[in-house]
Amino acid sequence: MKKQPVPIDAASRDTKPSKNDVLNAVKTLIRWAGDNPSREGLLETPERVYRAYQEFFSGYGEDPVAVLSKTFSLDKDYTEPVILQRIPFSSHCEHHILPMVGFVDLAYLPQNRVVGLSKLGRVVQIFAKRLQTQENMTVEIGKALEDGLHPLGVAVHISAVHQCMSLRGLKTPNVATLTRYYGGLYKNDPRARDDIKTVLTSENQISL
């Protein structure tokens, strides 16, 4: 079982910037934008941005597989998938550090153990609270469920809107991006995949 899927190496932990470094970086961006970080309305802004960043990026240093380690035995007559729909998340794209907001739908077909439902939501939040691409986040959630639960099958769908598409570049708002990951039975058996796809796509259309 992989214990540390966290993308931080020892060197970057040792050189983690201080809070003061962060406050100064925000002041630099304000000055670069053409404003004065010393004017009244902006005085507290670096501190607020620092606290917001603490929240936005709290998923580093948390191990999703460890979150899934406490499992419960399953009634042998339960042979269907466990499905969670519309788990809301907000993350930040790693290309522009702008928000991407949407829903995760996931399913796993247990082998003989199940995990508390809230732990599944927690795994989503751990990956969301990092700099992400939607594609990578989809795969990372799927693989964490595989590593943590050893299920017979896993399916993850994500539907999200990216502010970097709405606010900049071609400025195309309200475009939903859909990504999918299938593992185990749902990867190898087209009929099982079609079944789970139908269930997961029935509710997940993001409302814009």
Please report the sign of the dihedral spanned by the C-alpha atoms of residue 109, residue 111, residue 112, residue 118.
negative
**Catalytic sites, residue numbers:** 93-96, 134, 162, 164
Number of residues that this document lists for the chain: 208
64 closest CA partner among 107, 124, 116: 124
Are the beta carbons of 88 and 105 closer than 8 angstroms? no
Q: How far is CA 198 from the centre of its chain?
A: 23
- When the beta carbons of 115 and 160 are compared against Zn ion, the nearer one is 160
Q: How far is the CB of 131 from Zn ion (least distance, A)?
A: 10
- When the beta carbons of 84 and 161 are compared against Zn ion, the nearer one is 161
Three-class DSSP category at 24: helix
Binding mask 137-176 for Zn ion (x = CB under 5 A): ---------------------------x------------
Q: How far is the CB of 137 from Zn ion (least distance, A)?
A: 13
- When the beta carbons of 93 and 196 are compared against Zn ion, the nearer one is 93
* Token output for 1: 């079982």
- When the beta carbons of 160 and 192 are compared against Zn ion, the nearer one is 160
- In the complex, which residue's CB is closest to Zn ion? 164
Q: How far is the CB of 171 from Zn ion (least distance, A)?
A: 13
Q: How far is the CB of 133 from Zn ion (least distance, A)?
A: 8
Count of residues near Zn ion by CB under 5 A: 4
Backbone φ/ψ region at 54: left (φ over 0), alpha (ψ -120 to 50), beta: alpha
Binding mask 86-125 for Zn ion (x = CB under 5 A): -------x-xx-----------------------------
Which H, E and C letters describe 114-131, residue by residue? Answer: EECHHHHHHHHHHHHCCE
Backbone angles phi, psi at 82, to 5 degrees: -95, 125
- When the beta carbons of 93 and 109 are compared against Zn ion, the nearer one is 93
Beta-carbon count within 10 A of 170 CB = 7
When asked if residue 48 is in the footprint of Zn ion (CB under 5 A), the reply is no
Q: How far is the CB of 52 from Zn ion (least distance, A)?
A: 18
* Site residues (vs Zn ion, CB under 5 A): 93, 95-96, 164
